[in-house]
Amino acid sequence: MSETHRSVLHATQEQAGAEFADYDGWLWTTTFGDALGEYEAVRSHAGMWDNYGLQKWEVRGSDAARAVQRTFAGDVASLAAGQVRYAPFVDPTGAMVDEGTVYKHADDRYWVMTNSAEFDTFLGGHTAGLDYTIDYRTYDMPVVAVQGPASREVVQRLTHADLSSLRYFHFLPERVRVAGIPVWLLRTGFSGELGYELVPDPDDAPALWGALGDVGVRPFGLDAVEMLRVEAGLVIVGVDYEPGTTSPYDLSMDRLVAVGSDSADFVGKDVLQSVAASPPSRFKSLLVQGSEVPEYGAPVYRGDEAVGTCTSPVLSPRYGVVGLAVLRTDQAVNGSVLEVGVGESGLRTKATVTDLSVYDPEHRRPRS
């Protein structure tokens, strides 16, 4: 029987009434009993999420940047110290094997955060001869995400660090104290809102969680995350794409893929350059008619012809039934009315194509 991994905050959340689900051997909090209330806290004030199961790595050495770059489709060379970049990780065929974030501390030190616990093995297969080390840091780097329009205000109340100057997708170069607890402070998140991620030592995580709760930050789980991330157009591996089968262009990640950068030397780049000019598929949102939520992976039709897949459907408190969808490019036009399969009976309902993020099409809120 495989080992089940529990967060350092598991007992703390369990005492607060949390429910849990096992995903690939990691216990994730699903809800504290009121997913809609948790969702609303993030959209209107501030919520906190235990993101312990995010896989974390530290890459060091004289060739650290080259090693990270070998499978990362974003441009590592252009990163400044204290900057973060999100992009897909790809294989030699140009297919996504994962997506995640790269954090530059220095030319010879990077953090990499991924979905896969086998990232080190994958990277090692493409970095022979390079001088670097990669260390697994998941267990000693718990992540408490504080997300929502009031997140800056509530975190600022607990720290002397000046958050007003910390830009989106940057982090402070040294640890600071939040509620008296040393943390790495990152301006990142997975909610479509202004937000921060705090990385304390494992033993300090429960005290940090409690201090945030004391200033009105409400805990939330994956049930709320699912509504938040679909509204924001954010992807999840194994749901919106399968590793080794999907091009970044199928998920409309064009601006994240550095095919035009001479300094970004990654495997599969030549393949992706050939796709970039005319991607066969686009990633969009669908506003689905009615109240029935399609199944994950439901087919999308134009007449009798299948033209895409609804990868992530959800009942949104604000927009009704919304689904992320990979659509054939000629059908991925805002305002187009398609049909999506619902239920097991083969029935279809109308679905209107719209911007990838129905909540914030121009992605202004996380940058606010």
Compute φ and ψ for 234, nearest 5 degrees.
-100, 140
pLDDT, position 1: 43
Read off the pTM. Answer: 0.97
Residue type, 363: H
Q: Spell out the alpha helix ranges (H) of the chain.
A: 10-15, 35-44, 64-69, 119-124, 151-156, 205-214, 222-232, 269-276
Q: Give me the domains of the chain, ranges plus CATH numbers.
A: 10-52+142-230 (3.30.1360.120), 283-368 (2.40.30.110)
Per residue in 106-126, is it b (16+ CB within 10 Å) or e — as a string?
eeeebbbbbbbbebbebbeee
307/294 Cα distance (integer angstroms): 16
Q: Measured between alpha carbons, how far is 79 from 1 in angstroms, rounded to an integer?
A: 42
Quick: pLDDT tens for 15-26. 999 999 999 999
* DSSP conformation letters of 231-248: HHT---BTTTB-TTT--G
* pLDDT one-digit tens code per residue, 102-138: 999 999 999 999 999 999 999 999 999 999 999 999 9
Per residue in 53-96, pLDDT (tens digit) is: 999 999 999 999 999 999 999 999 999 999 999 999 999 999 99
